[in-house]
Amino acid sequence: MSVCRIAYVRYLNTAPLVEGLASDPSVTLIPAVPSRIAGLVRRGEADVGLASVVDATDGLTVLPVGMIGCDGPTLTVRVFSSVPVAQVRELHADTDSHTSVVLAQVVLALMGVGPLRVTDFDARERAPIDEARASGPIEGAWPEAVLLIGDKVVCDAPPADRYPYQMDLGEEWKKLTGLPFVYAAWVCRTGEEGSPAVGRACMLLDRQRRRNAMRIGWIAGRRSGGTRWSPALAQRYLGESLRYELGESARAGLGRFVAEAGARGLHAGRVPAFVSGGR
């Protein structure tokens, strides 16, 4: 039996993709933040990974076995601002996701906001990256405008009185383009699509996604235990806000995003390569 190494994000949003895989002896799950996963796959430290789509470029191929996306509000990809969004000129950006940082710049540009300066932000230390490395945590140091992603948007949100203006990037993308959005997709190294490990991973990931789609309520209840997610909110998030099928409309949204980002010098402008079955 082939053993496969699968790199994934340990956020609530990946549960419908990976719930149940940990008990399979042929699987090694490797948790990482989204921005690190493409590198793990490229270096051969994982056979398959759930990579941010802006990182799914040279040397990687997208596998049509699932994604993290939305077709409207995302909930956990959000800009918080102390001034009206039209007045934002500097955005402190959560470094956990490369795709969300590019999406924020594209959405703001489409809204006519800019020019925009982007500063890497350590959301856990609440400080610009260089500052956090130099001096350690700065409690309560929230900037004028900040992009946050993942569970921290719900479980460790900034103070509401500091940020009266908020923008859900999935919702704004849908308003501006009429298209869904793809944040991350499963990838492997180009040329290894037919390897036993990748084949095993694809079979398991496709099976678990389909099975888990039928038990979202159970997954939400199980995963919200011990966290600050309420079961009801977790079920609404997993069952209504997010999309997991990498279909034609999702790929159209991905193509539009890549084109918009490429036109602004934020991306190479090339749509990620898909395996033959996913073309």
pLDDT value of position 3 = 87
pLDDT value of position 130 = 54
pLDDT band, very low/low/confident/very high, at 1 (cuts 50, 70, 90):
low
Q: What domains does the chain contain, in order, with CATH numbers? A: 4-71+180-278 (3.40.190.10), 77-177 (3.40.190.10)
Backbone phi and psi for residue 273, each to the nearest 5 degrees, phi listed first? -75, 140
pLDDT value of position 139 = 46
pLDDT digits over 107-154, tens only?
999 999 988 999 999 876 666 745 544 444 444 578 999 999 999 999
pLDDT value of position 137 = 43
Whether 219 and 15 have beta carbons less than 8 Å apart is answered as yes
- Taking the C-alpha atoms of residue 231 and residue 245, their distance in angstroms, rounded to an integer, is 23
DSSP secondary structure of the chain? ---EEEEE--SGGGHHHHTTGGG-TTEEEEE--HHHHHHHHHTTS-SEEEEEGGG--TTEEEEEEEEEEESS--SSEEEEESS-GGG--EEEEETT-HHHHHHHHHHHHHTT----EEEEEETTTTEEHHHHHHH---TT---SEEEEESTHHHHSPPPTTT--EEEEHHHHHHHHHS--EEEEEEEEETT-TTSHHHHHHHHHHHHHHHHHTT-HHHHHHHHHTTSS--HHHHHHIIIIIEE----HHHHHHHHHHHHHHHHTTSS---PPEE-GGG-
pLDDT value of position 278 = 44
Say if residue 276's pLDDT is above 70. Answer: no
CA of residue 82 relative to chain centroid, distance:
24
pTM (two decimals): 0.92
Partners of 55 in beta bridges: none
Partners of 91 in beta bridges: 118
pLDDT digits over 38-80, tens only?
999 999 999 999 999 999 988 999 999 999 999 999 999 999 9
pLDDT digits over 2-25, tens only?
789 999 999 999 999 999 999 999
pLDDT value of position 58 = 84
pLDDT value of position 40 = 98
pLDDT digits over 193-246, tens only?
999 999 999 999 999 999 999 999 999 999 988 778 999 999 999 999 999 999
| C-beta neighbour count of 105 within 10 angstroms | 22
pLDDT value of position 136 = 45
